Amino acid sequence: MLCNEGSLHHNQGDWKWRGDPTDIALLTLGYKLGLVREKMLGRHPLLYEISFEPELQYAATFHRVEDGTEVFVKGAPERVLAMCSFPKKERDSEHLSEKAASMAQRGFRVLALGRGKLAGHLAPGCSPSEPTGLHFLGFVGMIDPLRPDVAKAVAACRKAGIAVSMITGDHPDTALAIGRELGLARRPDQMLTGRELEKLSPMEMAGAVHTTRIFARVAPRQKLELVEAAQKSGYYVAVTGDGVNDAPALRQANIGVAMGRSGTDVAREAAELVITDDNFATIVAGVEEGRIAYDNVRKVIYLLVSTGAAEVILLGLAIVTGWPRVEPGEAILPLLPVQLLWLNLVTNGIQDVALAFEPGEPGVLQRPPRPPRERIFDRLMVQRTIVAALVMAGVSYAAFAWMIEMNGWPVEKARNSLLLLMVLFEIIHIGNCRSEKTSAFMISPLKSPVLLFGTILAFIVHLTAMHVPVLQGALRLEPVGWGPLICLAGLSLTILIAMEAHKWWWNRRQ
């Protein structure tokens, strides 16, 4: 009778449901007791309905019966008990309140049920007053057991620097019982109720957001106020919800997360993300994957910008200094345009893509969140990019000048060796890019098979180009002997030494 906000149907051996989870649970209980809502409505048509509102804390339906109108009420125990009449009002009400509290302390969400009759028939279009003098029917306890991985997920959030708060309309004892299982709170003084929130000023509410992790008997308006208070306090707020009343808070949050299976359409439309399995642990896994993805974006950008900057500095040095020269007054470019394109689009391009598949570093969830407005090019990124670019450009420029000025190599031969040196720099430097703080020697190349394969492939592609006539002619390449190759490989290690030194300095400073 009272479940107008949910529907449950048995069709071809399968159960279909839609709507409010509480009503669906009550409908399920009714089916188990042999009470089918549609059949009962056929005998006792619905005349009027008072939908559940957090401010009312109850819902009621009015039905036509043979001798008048009957009302059925469900709601918060303290609210429904106040509507009921007992032989010994105060003692009986107190005894039943203790029973409801006992159920709530065991983690049950408790609803009280009552029924009563109106004098005469309810006129069509007439709004009845609040029910009174009801006959108390009993309590219904519902529990959604915590999944085994939820407590671990909350603990993981705490280690990751994410503050988790529970905001619910349930009874305070129910909220505290669940909060204990989650490790959010242990004592009643670590929780605030909706009535207590009403007495707080905006400044006091902002303080409560910092210190309190459980808010019970909270109205939707207060949930929205808590989200706004957290945002004003500097938090980047994510809100989870599944009901219509959660929509304002979901929309206000920086990230609204709706439940895909049990959530309402209104909640899903108000949110930015929808969790298909309704599992809080999935959100934590998403946070971890997000951090890994952000790290990989930084790594790829660092590789691209540092190697690109090295090429720009190398060419800039040759143009500005006018050295090395083939003839007096005639400066030469270290690399031809086609060689730069080959370097960036082929050899470097293969490794960039492979680096994006780098697995997460250990302890990615143990470090604090980054500030929401932090730039990708933060102080560390800028410093490391400058150091890497200067080392690669400086060594390459000195090697190219030595080949021509000191060793008397032809320009084409020197360019060929310089291009190979730049490829080797990229191969070595990609090891530096795998972590901002961990030494490259501490990360096994086997940890990322995609990156290992991509690096080897890039080197093989360049070696192939040095021996295939068509590519030799297009790129002005030629094979290099073992002696020069070993010397160039030794020069490329300078970038590893420089980056290891910078990591050591940065970690010690931090």
Kindly list the domain boundaries of the chain, sorted by start residue: 6-142, 150-283, 290-509
Q: Report the pLDDT value the prediction gives residue 328, as an integer from 0 to 100.
A: 57
CA distance 110 to 102: 10
- Tokens linked to 429: 């430097």
Mean pLDDT of 208-217: 92
- Please report the pLDDT score of residue 12 as a whole number: 66
Sorted by sequence, the CB contacts under 8 Å of residue 403 that are 6+ apart come out as: 409, 413, 414, 417, 418
Q: What is the full DSSP assignment across 240-254?
A: EE-SGGGHHHHHHSS
Residues in CB range of 488: below 8 A, 6 or more apart: 399, 417, 420, 421, 424, 480
SS3 177: helix
pLDDT tens readout for residues 474-499: 999 999 999 999 999 999 999 999 99
How is domain 150-283 classified at the CATH fold level?
A: Rossmann fold (3.40.50)
pTM: predicted TM-score of the whole model, two decimal places? 0.78
81 contacts 112 by C-beta, under 8 angstroms: yes
Question: Average of pLDDT values for 445-468?
Answer: 94
Task: State yes or no: pLDDT of 384 exceeds 80.
Answer: yes
What is the distance between the alpha carbons of residues 459 and 472, in angstroms, rounded to a whole number?
A: 16
pLDDT-wise least confident of 14-18, 63-67, 470-474: 14-18
Q: How confident is the model at residue 242 (pLDDT cuts 50, 70, 90)?
A: confident
The model's confidence at residue 14, banded by pLDDT at 50, 70 and 90, is: confident
CB 17 within 8 A of CB 32: no
Give me the architecture of the 290-509 domain, per CATH.
Answer: Up-down Bundle (1.20)
Asked if pLDDT for residue 331 goes beyond 70, the answer is no
Among the residues of 346-410, which ranges form H helices? Answer: 348-355, 379-401
CATH class of the domain comprising 6-142: alpha beta
- Integer Cα distance of 131 and 119 in angstroms: 12
Query: Nearest-CA neighbor of 351 among 457, 445, 508?
Result: 457
Lowest mean pLDDT among 147-151, 152-156, 432-436: 147-151
Does the pLDDT of residue 286 top 70, yes or no? Answer: yes
33 or 311: whose pLDDT is higher? 311
Q: What is the pLDDT of residue 329?
A: 54
Question: How much is the average pLDDT of 406-426?
Answer: 92
Confidence category of residue 3, pLDDT binned at 50, 70, 90: low
pLDDT of residue 291: 94
The pLDDT, as a whole number, for residue 125 is: 67
